[in-house]
């Protein structure tokens, strides 16, 4: 097996694709697995446009719960090591499926010293802390509290400051398309990368899961960091079976 650290040192262009596993050691629940979010909730009841149309209050309550949960978490050693890696190496780009904002928080942790921009990730599935309007193009970073639980009225749900319509979390739900500009940029980065470093994803949700194949098809290498085997393991040149905080500070050391 090639040495993952050497593969990264030898590559000029590197794309890093992360999933929920990188935030697990920060205390953010993953989606699948023993303690996964989807074990306790049915995705079709909460993370679909149909669910929101039927019962926006319940969907908003779930997202508020997740916001509060994530707000109490902090970036871990793997997030921070990736910031150093991206700031130090101009050819490194981060792409994440996570909506928890922890990569950006890690990047801003160093903002007093350096411009964090190169360490900000492309967010494939949106961001938990951003809202968008269900009618117009308005986006915002609001974090409004909900009113009484169980009320039938939607008047106290977050509404758009521009047009008054209901706001929704700015995340991608099941059955929805990814933003074509964001996906296109991620596909370009994956295709041009000499190495795709995949961290903490079960690699079952497409199109994100297909990005590493893009790198591979163009002759690049794939490194997987995940304590468990995934469908990507078969095409990976190198599988590191450790947790993100154990593996990343070591293999991405600058
Ligand atoms: P999953 O919950 O499906 O997978 C998490 C992966 O992280 C698993 O393969 C674990 O083995 C691994 N893992 C757990 N702890 C880890 C650790 N400490 N270090 C490294 N790896 C660890 O999460 P995702 O693959 O990110 O989409 O899920 C993909 C998408 O499915 C999410 O973005 C979300 C969900 O539906 C949307 O909401 C659109
Ligand atoms: Zn609006």
Per-residue pLDDT tens over the stretch 169-221: 999 999 999 999 999 999 999 999 999 999 999 999 999 999 999 999 999 99
Ligand located closest to 204 CA: 1
Q: H-helix or E-strand containing 65?
A: helix 56-71
Q: How does residue 43 score in pLDDT terms, banded at 50, 70 and 90? A: confident
Burial of 46 (0-12, 13-18, 19+ CB in 10 A): buried
Q: Whose CA is closest to 230, among 200, 186, 190, 191?
A: 200
Percent of the residues in the chain that have a pLDDT greater than 90, as a whole number: 82
Instruction: Determine the pLDDT at residue 139.
Output: 86
Kindly report the pTM of this predicted structure: 0.94
Tell me the sheet residues that pair with 223: 197, 238
Cβ-contact 22, 199 below 8 angstroms: yes
Q: Which of 226, 230, 251 is the pocket-test mutation for ligand 1 (most atoms within 8 Å of CB)?
A: 226
**Nearest atom in ligand 1 to 203's CA:** 25
Instruction: Determine the pLDDT at residue 237.
Output: 98
Residue 167 CA to ligand 2 center (angstroms) comes to 7
Residue nearest to atom 33 of ligand 1 (CA): 97
Active site residues: 125
Maximum alpha-carbon separation in the chain = 59
On the CB side of 56, CA atoms within 13 Å amount to 17
Tell me the sheet residues that pair with 195: 14, 221
What SS3 state is found at 1? Answer: coil
What SS3 state is found at 144? Answer: coil
Residue 208 CA to ligand 2 center (angstroms) comes to 29
Residue 41 CA to ligand 1 center (angstroms) comes to 16
Cβ-contact 244, 78 below 8 angstroms: yes
Ligand 1-lining residues (CB < 6 angstroms): 19-21, 24-25, 30-33, 36, 47, 97, 125, 172, 200-202, 205, 225-228, 230, 243-244
Those residues whose C-beta lies under 8 Å from the C-beta of residue 112, and which sit 6 or more positions away, are: none
């Amino acid at each position: 097996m090639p040495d993952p650290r050497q593969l990264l040192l030898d590559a000029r262009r590197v794309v890093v694709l992360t999933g929920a596993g990188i935030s697990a050691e920060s205390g953010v629940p993953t989606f699948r697995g023993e303690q996964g979010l989807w074990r306790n909730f049915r995705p079709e009841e909460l993370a679909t446009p149909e669910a929101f149309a039927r019962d926006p209050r319940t969907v908003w309550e779930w997202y508020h719960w997740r916001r509060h949960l994530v707000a109490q978490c902090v970036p871990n050693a793997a997030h921070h090591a990736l910031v150093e890696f991206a700031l130090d190496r101009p050819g490194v780009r981060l792409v994440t499926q996570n909506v928890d904002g922890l990569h950006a928080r890690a990047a801003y942790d160093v903002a007093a010293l350096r411009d964090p921009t190169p360490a900000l990730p492309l967010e494939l599935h949106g961001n938990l802390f951003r809202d968008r309007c269900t009618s117009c193009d308005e986006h915002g970073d609001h974090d409004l509290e909900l009113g009484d639980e169980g009320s039938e009225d939607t008047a106290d749900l977050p509404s758009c400051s521009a047009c008054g319509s209901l706001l929704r979390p700015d995340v991608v739900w099941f059955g929805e398309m990814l933003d074509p500009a964001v996906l296109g940029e991620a596909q370009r980065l994956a295709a041009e990368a000499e190495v795709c470093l995949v961290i903490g994803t079960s690699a079952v949700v497409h199109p994100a899961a297909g990005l590493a194949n893009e790198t591979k098809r163009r002759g690049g290498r794939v490194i997987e960091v995940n304590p468990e085997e995934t469908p990507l393991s078969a095409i990976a040149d190198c599988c590191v079976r450790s947790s993100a905080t154990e593996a990343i500070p070591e293999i991405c050391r600058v």
